[in-house]
Amino acid sequence: MRVVVGERMGGPEVLAVAEREAPRPGPGEVVVDVAAAGVNYMDIYQREGIGNYRPEPPFVPGAEGAGTVAAVPVPDGMNLQVAAAAILQGMTAHYLCTSTYPVREGDITVVHAAAGGVGLLLTQMVKRRGGVVVGTTSGGPKVELALQAGADHVVGYDRFRDIVDEVSDGAGAHVVYDGVGRDTFDDGLAALRPRGMMVLYGAASGQVPPVDPQRLNSGGSLFLTRPTLVHYVADATELRWRAGEVFDWITKGELDVRIGGTYPLSDAARAQEDLAGRRTTGKLLLLPGL
Ligand SMILES: NC(=O)c1ccc[n+]([C@@H]2O[C@H](COP(=O)([O-])OP(=O)(O)OC[C@H]3O[C@@H](n4cnc5c(N)ncnc54)[C@H](OP(=O)(O)O)[C@@H]3O)[C@@H](O)[C@H]2O)c1
């Protein structure tokens, strides 16, 4: 079995492809012959040993994939690359807008990095719930992609507060979905209406420094949460519900999954560099078959 291994914590150079003995499934487990593996920010946090992500070296990064035997049944006929691209980020977008802050018709939402992997899926899901999406991107072709996903407004990170102000008649956003973190957090908090919710779900630009709870008071009795997927797929029922809805929407053509780039396993480091370097849109996949 070929795996990507990190021999120690560090930059992309610590990653290398190695041979390992194929695992044997224990009770209640399956072995998946992976056809496509998703590249996620979590893999970068693991490699760098950031926050709660501190695997013991040597470690095998990665948390997403699809293959011939799966713990989550993939509907018959679904392309395995699409399944791999949709599962982690699809369930993330799903829990963010259905459970963390359940978007209602007319709610004004901010979706940061709207042309990213989570961003494109979240934008589409907020729209199907009737929300208004103010999306941010760094510009260029990312603007068009976010608009195609259904965003009502797509602007740079320096302008989203003005647009929220405009579309809400000064009231502010109901929710800010922020996977960018350090660079956007303060403006996001300031863009919320009283009792609005800051959903800080990632740190693409770096970790947000400690927050004084009094800021939530002066901002208007705001809510702040830092959710993680694992707590929103707490048991098999919840996991099957979220994965089932995501796959159902894809099968019906109601959710578009954009695969922004595919890489051979030996280019795992380059995939992570491209992701962290803001050079990507949609989802990145490692394909062992390439
Ligand atoms: N909590 C959870 O359950 C969960 C699950 C999955 C993912 N996540 C988080 O979701 C976020 C998005 O993940 P993703 O895989 O979909 O990545 P992504 O959005 O495809 O890529 C990150 C994007 O963030 C934007 N960005 C803004 N400032 C940046 C900076 N200083 N450095 C790098 N990127 C910057 C870039 O878009 P622009 O060029 O348009 O600015 C970049 O393309 C990450 O923070 C990840 O950790 C959280």
Distance (Å, whole) CA 208 – CA 178: 11
pLDDT of residue 88: 94
- With a cut of 70, which residues of the chain have pLDDT below it? 27, 69-71, 73-74
- pTM of the full predicted structure? 0.88
CB 79: neighbour CB atoms within 10 A? Answer: 16
Choosing from 64, 118, 124, 125 the residue with most ligand 1 atoms within 8 A of its CB, the one to mutate for a pocket test is 118
Cα separation, 15 vs 28, in Å, equals 30
Tell me how far apart the alpha carbons of residues 172 and 114 are, in angstroms, rounded to a whole number: 19
Give 82-129 pLDDT, tens digit per residue.
Answer: 988 899 999 999 999 999 999 999 999 999 999 999 999 999 999 999
**Amino acid at residue number 121:** L
CA distance 90 to 105: 21
Q: What is the pLDDT of residues 211-229, one digit of tens each?
A: 999 999 999 999 999 999 9
Residue 163 Cα distances to 109, 145, 171, 216, angstroms:
11, 19, 11, 22
To the nearest 10°, report the CA torsion of 276, 277, 282, 287.
-70
Instruction: Confirm or reject: Cβ of 201 under 6 Å from ligand 1.
Output: yes
CA 115 – CA 96 distance, rounded (Å): 17
Give, using CA atoms, the residue closest to atom 28 of ligand 1.
205
Whose CA is closest to atom 45 on ligand 1? 202
Q: Which of 112, 142, 180 to mutate to test the pocket of ligand 1 (most atoms within 8 A of CB)?
A: 180
pLDDT of residue 290: 80
**pLDDT, position 73:** 63
Q: Is 178 exposed, middle or buried (0-12, 13-18, 19+ CB in 10 A)?
A: buried
152, 126 Cβ separation under 8 angstroms? no
- Tell me, using a 6 A CB cutoff, whether residue 228 lines ligand 1: yes
